[in-house]
Amino acid sequence: MMPHHTPFTWWRLLLLLPPLAAQGQSLLYEDFEDATPGDQPEASASPRPLRENIGATVALPVTPSEGGPIGIAIAPYSGSPATNYTGEGQYLRMWDYDTGVGLGLEYNFVDSAAEQISLLHFALDFASTSAALSSSENLRISLGEFYDQDKINLSRGSNRPFMLRLSNDGQIELSMTDADSVGGTFSTDASHHLDIFINDYEDQTFLLPFNGDDQQLYTNSVTVFLDGVFFGQAMLDNTLNYRLQSGNFGRLGFVSTTATVGVDFLVDNLEINELSLTADPTPVPWPGDDPDLSGDEGEDYDLVLLDERFDYKPGPLNRISRWAVSTGSPELEVDADGTVDFATGDDTVDGHYSLAFYDSLQVKRAPVGDEPGPRVYLRTDLRLDGSVAGLEATPLMGLQNGDIADRVTGLVWVREGSTADSLQLGLSLTDTADDIQWSPVEISDQQWHTLVVRKSYGTNDRALWLDPADTEATPDLTVAVEKDTSDSSVAGVALLDTAGDMALSLDNLRVSGSFAMSLDRTPVERPQLSVTQNVGDYTVDAADYFATFTGNLQLTRLAVSGEDLLYSGDAYPAGGYWNVVSEGSIGKNVMLGDQYFVMQTEYVFSSVAARVDGMTLMLQNNDEDNAATYALVFDRSMISSVVNGEGNEVAVTADVSAVSELALSTDYNTLQLRGVTGVYADATAGALVVEARMEPREVRSIELYPSAVAVTSPLEYQVFQRETLEHGQVEIAGRALNDADTVVVTFSGGTPLAGALPTDPVNISIAANGDFAQSIELPAGGWYQADLSFQQNGTEVAQETISRFGVGEVFVGAGQSNSTNSGTEPTTPESDLAVSFSGGHWQPAADPQPGVHDLSTKGSYYPAFLDDMAAELQVPVAIASTGHGGTSVERWQPDYPYNYDSYLSYARYNGLYPWTLYRLGQLGQGGFRAVLWHQGESDSSHEPGVVRTSHEDYYHDLKNLIESTRTETAWDIPWFVAQASVWPLDNPNGDPEISGAQQQIWADGIALPGANSDTLGLEFRQPDGSRVHFTPEGLAAHAALWSEILLPYVEQQGQSAVWLEQNMPGAEVLEGTNWAHVGGFDWVWTESFPWIWQDAWGWLWVSGNTDGWWMYHPEASAQLGWLWTSGELYPLIYADEIAQWTQRDGDSLWLFGDQRWMHFDAAN
């Protein structure tokens, strides 16, 4: 079929293609002519994102922005968008202006792995539809192995042997991992044609007639032509099987992983043919550099990849540890003495376990930079426990391939030695029983022996030592190189159970990069927590649990220790999923920091905060009309008991039992859940379903603790709001289901601001249901450590340590983008006392701040603000940021109607008020110092003289928001409202409608004055775009405005009566109230001291002593600067900014130097 558009005329295409005799079988041809414009193409994997028709008519140009449009759709050349070249018929447009979501499209061009091919030609036409975009983002094209699942697979680097990058500004690169990449350019004002040829044979080369010349297709190579001209050639990357065997190609893929710059391309006429060429009689070797194939034994490197001491409770290896069954049904157990027992007693077992290296590291055959490889050492202790008579060659242990579960390499073999009471060790080059070589040294006593095996992935050499004295010891056995058969990488260690009853024990297994590290016995602990993201999938790897999420918070795996608890059948979508009337489509998913990630659709908002001790799932139902449920589905056969929050066993039936807490126990592990609403059994499916039901607009958290002992307070890095400047209450709380009757708490560490930590342990009784809770007064300061000893009749049965918590200051941030992560770049606090609270975990306060509603990912003023506060106050200081960029004050109203028409335009704003209100409730009454509100730019006029939001409307909406939070929390929450009304380029002087409303909020006593960001000029703002957001210097300046206001406010808390009586002559505090009578000031209200309220002046900030005091008045000080007076001089007042004396008379000031009156509004 001829192409349907004209940029490449038919004669040119014939010129570019190899002769028809070389083309062989046609495997794929797609010209998009049979589809309906606006549809997504039919492919082997559902296109990502799953949004039908989204953006199909989005006109060019598109301005890149956070949360911009993304999509894959078929469009006509004659329709929208208007492209930068013309053609006939239809094409496929792929565009991504989003933030890290990424698009994907993949086609299988064979029907099974058995039909994959080795020699092929791929061609397509393409054009840049938006040449204004930069080369920092690109559309990526690759080919690889057939994949039988409806998922994007070639996005992973380990699954593809090369990648071709196309950038909208005309950059093209053949990007390789194991070889030099090839770069070039193309014109952005025309379309182009690509030809890609792949030879996947290891021992055959071919001469390709192409465009009048002969092109050599070397072994394991990819060759690229652009517009008929040779562009580049490279060796296929050393991933999966691409260098080990032929016949690896069956899938074509397109993918992007953009940030905010954007990708926008059209493609047409996709064509894949199997080539039919005659191999050269004498293969031509690859002429380029290839360190992998030459082989490199490498050098030792001091890195411990895994240190496994098997210090678990007794039980099956995969149910009491992180070891997972990779193949078969092995039955190894850990004994009471913490060793692995190979005497399973069952001769029919056959399979193996695997355990991943720390931090998901892989030992690579061709390491790059700091990657480990190509050597690896495996060390373990072995003990012969009895006779091994009749034991034939049996694999014992090895190294687990990184991508293929059933592939184990570097195998150690065992068999009966010279006698029935001795064991012989061996190695094989090919990891089969065909070529094992046996060590002359045997284990013949029932003592522990140290085995060390080295494998070099560069040359495939292997060596074995038994009880080496030091690193200079000569190997007892070496296996020489015969041919290159090594895998590209390994990612873990494997234990094989294939011999049935074998009288052998194993302990102290270590994998490292050097002989010295192998012999070293210093314990190296597994990292306590790792959260990783792969496009839209997330993995949480913690010491005691493992979880994977995909899509819209679908929980696909949850393992406690190594025990998988979730239901895996077909009756439910996943082990955890939203059950809603309308789920919507993923508008955004993003990771904020190292422990927190979020998925959002039009109808639900989901976040996961991962901690070492568990996870918090924060769930928001943004459906105004319908309830929603998040369900956790467990394998009923795994659960041996279900206990509710009262400590009673729940008889789980098909009817929903109302519960708020549950403890699910297996024979070996316990999972505690809090924040749920019900549980029921599905006998037909064999499932146990735990629900968390949410009413319309409701926010709820599910807390998961993978242990019989859960400490819910304090959490790591938690800050408790102090009650006075010198002390605060710290709650010690949780649940212990291990028969303990008392928890004994010992405090240590930190730097108390005043006083000292308790020197004696604190005993807290544990209730019959396992709950414990007690508030303990501690001095302000941190970081403190709490050691909790759980005891039964005085004997310790468990121990937990919270190593960092403190008593200090907590603030809640709310508003629009300058209250979230929208600065030009992330910043990091210098103080280790600066932390953030996401709603589910506490962490050092590096940007991006977790817990924001807009999922922004850049910088905020909070790190600098917390630094300022912590440096002055010398206590931990925390922020809980909840804002959303681009929001008007109207969108924050409790009853603001939700909109589901478009995620980008409307739906992402759904649920602002409930989100922040829930955070206030989590912290509780007195649990934070104040709310810091920065908002107004979206309401201010972007054109002088044009009212966007009136003074009255803004005042009404902000007043309603503040008072609603106070009503619903039953607490008169202090609010600080910033002056934020500047739209820098269009209205640099601000909008008096908005700034006036904000000032009236102060004047009416509804909130206290916050930072005046209107004073921050363009030198502090982003250099492009709207210039609303701040540079790092601007963020620091913004932070200083806030800390200048809040530092004296905090420092004077609880001191109003003392300060007034000591520093304002004649001041009398009315006992039991917040009112005081102060001479010429008459009556003042002092609850928010050092801000005081007086009828004539309105709000005043005061500080000083009996010699005089400084005052700041929001209106007068804007012109006069700081004001100074004393009890003797008043009503004479000195104005610092204009350097002259004034005299107050009612609501006016007489300026002696200017000889004029200045009138100020009593309401500021």
pLDDT tens-digit series, residues 459-506? 778 899 999 999 999 999 998 754 444 456 789 999 998 877 789 999
206-213: average pLDDT: 82
926-947: average pLDDT: 92
pLDDT at residue 1131 in the model: 85
What's the full length of the chain, in residues? 1164
| Cα distance between residue 605 and residue 622, in whole Å | 7
Give the DSSP letter of residue 1138: T
pLDDT in tens, 89-110: 888 888 888 756 678 889 999 9
Q: How confident is the model at residue 803 (pLDDT cuts 50, 70, 90)?
A: very high
| Cα distance between residue 221 and residue 656, in whole Å | 60
Query: 79 pLDDT exceeds 60?
Result: yes
CB neighbour list of residue 203: distance below 8 Å, 6 or more residues apart: 219, 283
pLDDT in tens, 1008-1048: 999 999 999 999 999 888 899 999 999 999 999 999 999 98
710-806 CATH: 2.60.40.10
Helical (H) or strand (E) element with 271:
strand 263-274
CB 123 within 8 A of CB 193: yes
| 816-1051: CATH architecture | 3-Layer(aba) Sandwich (3.40)
pLDDT at residue 9 in the model: 33
Q: Where are the beta strands (DSSP E) in 1029-1107?
A: 1068-1069, 1075-1078, 1082-1085, 1091-1094, 1098-1105
Helical (H) or strand (E) element with 867:
helix 862-873
All structural domains of the chain with their residue ranges: 21-278, 304-519, 529-707, 710-806, 816-1051, 1056-1159
What percentage of residues in the chain have a pLDDT greater than 70? 88
Peptide bond into 330 cis (omega under 30): no
pLDDT in tens, 396-449: 999 998 777 778 888 999 999 999 999 999 998 778 888 899 999 999 999 999
Residue type for position 343: A
Q: How confident is the model at residue 881 (pLDDT cuts 50, 70, 90)?
A: very high
| Cα distance between residue 764 and residue 784, in whole Å | 19
DSSP string, 525-583: PPPSEEEEEETTEEEEEESSEEEEEETTTEEEEEEETTEE-B--SSSSSSSEEEE-S--
Neighbours of 345 (CB within 10 A): 9
CATH topology of domain 529-707: Beta-galactosidase; Chain A, domain 5 (2.70.98)
Query: 84 pLDDT exceeds 80?
Result: no
Q: Which of 1037, 1017, 1050, 497 is nearest to 721 (CA)?
A: 1050
Tokens 């492919």 correspond to what residue?
43
pLDDT, greater one: 48 or 502: 502
pLDDT at residue 83 in the model: 61
pLDDT in tens, 560-585: 998 999 999 999 999 999 999 988 88
pLDDT at residue 559 in the model: 95
Query: 799 pLDDT exceeds 70?
Result: yes
Query: 85 pLDDT exceeds 70?
Result: no
pLDDT, greater one: 450 or 205: 450
pLDDT, greater one: 185 or 371: 185
| Cα distance between residue 521 and residue 450, in whole Å | 11
pLDDT in tens, 655-709: 999 999 999 999 999 999 999 999 999 999 999 999 999 999 999 999 999 999 9
21-30: average pLDDT: 77
The highest-level CATH class for domain 304-519 is: mainly beta
| Cα distance between residue 443 and residue 431, in whole Å | 22
Helical (H) or strand (E) element with 142:
strand 139-144
CB 522 within 8 A of CB 512: no
Neighbours of 349 (CB within 10 A): 17
pLDDT at residue 1039 in the model: 97
CB 774 within 8 A of CB 686: no
Query: 1090 pLDDT exceeds 80?
Result: no
pLDDT at residue 348 in the model: 63
pLDDT at residue 100 in the model: 62
pLDDT in tens, 31-44: 888 888 888 888 87
3-state secondary structure of 807: strand
DSSP string, 158-182: GG-S-EEEE-TTSEEEEE-SSS--E
pLDDT at residue 548 in the model: 95
Query: 628 pLDDT exceeds 80?
Result: yes
pLDDT at residue 1 in the model: 27
| Cα distance between residue 772 and residue 764, in whole Å | 7
Q: How confident is the model at residue 191 (pLDDT cuts 50, 70, 90)?
A: confident
- Tell me if domain 21-278 and domain 304-519 are identical in fold: yes
The superfamily in CATH containing domain 21-278 is Exo-inulinase; domain 1 (2.60.120.560)
Phi, psi of 873 (to 5 degrees): -85, -25
pLDDT, greater one: 1047 or 259: 1047
1137-1157: average pLDDT: 89
**Across the chain, what does the average pLDDT equal?**
87
Bridge partners (DSSP) listed for residue 279: 206
pLDDT in tens, 1096-1118: 777 787 877 767 888 888 778 87
pLDDT at residue 16 in the model: 42
Q: Which two tokens stand for residue 50?
A: 């799953």
CB 1145 within 8 A of CB 1080: no
- Interhelix angle 912-923/951-969, rounded to 10 degrees, is 40
Q: How confident is the model at residue 80 (pLDDT cuts 50, 70, 90)?
A: low
Q: How confident is the model at residue 1064 (pLDDT cuts 50, 70, 90)?
A: low
